[in-house]
Amino acid sequence: MHIFSIIGIAVALAMDAFAVSIAVGIQLKTTRFRQFFRLSFHFGLFQALMPIIGWSAGLTIRSLIAAFDHWIAFGLLALVGGNMLKEAFTAENPDREEKKDATKGMTMVMLSVATSIDALAVGFSLSIINEPIILPAVVIGLVALIFTIIGLNLGNFASNSSWVKPYAEILGGLVLFGIGLNILYEHHALAFMLD
């Protein structure tokens, strides 16, 4: 496979990670180096590992999870987005606990899995056409890492803009829901509603 094709695939796969990292940047408002490192490392790692897993599994697992992988991604994004919306609407409560850091714990793992499920399908596809996987996996991981860093910076910038600040967490939660709905739309899971 030509390097430009691999980069094109990597950029397409990184769009979910990019959008989610913008939402996380909006939620955090200011991001420390450790948060940048954790989120970009995990998004890059998961984006690199998923194609390898998909490639290794080939067609054996594809038929088992293809029917519902998009629902898993939607569920994970909806859960995190719902938590962000809940925090946004309880922001006026002075007794409220400190905001949950989306770059830690299970939230980060859920976001990493949700944004990289499409990379699993790419790995399946590459195994079907008998393409090697190491170079594409490395490129996919690096591009996701770079797009995550850019997205976090954009999210931080947006959350500190005077016109976005009051609505930052609501916007972040809605972005995650939107990404989840887009995943369902791309997999034609919402076709029954459009008929």
The pLDDT assigned to 61 comes to 60
Per-residue pLDDT of the chain (195 residues; tens, 9 = 90+): 788 888 988 998 888 889 889 888 888 878 889 999 999 999 999 999 999 998 888 756 656 666 777 787 787 778 777 876 777 777 554 444 456 788 888 889 999 998 888 888 788 878 877 788 999 999 999 999 999 999 999 988 887 776 665 666 677 778 777 877 887 887 777 766 655
Every domain of the chain and the residues it spans: 3-91+98-194
User: In which element (H, E) is residue 21 found?
Assistant: helix 3-28
Confidence (pTM): 0.73
**Would you say 37 and 21 are in contact if contact means Cβ atoms under 8 Å apart?**
no
157 CB contacts (<8 Å, ≥6 apart)? 25
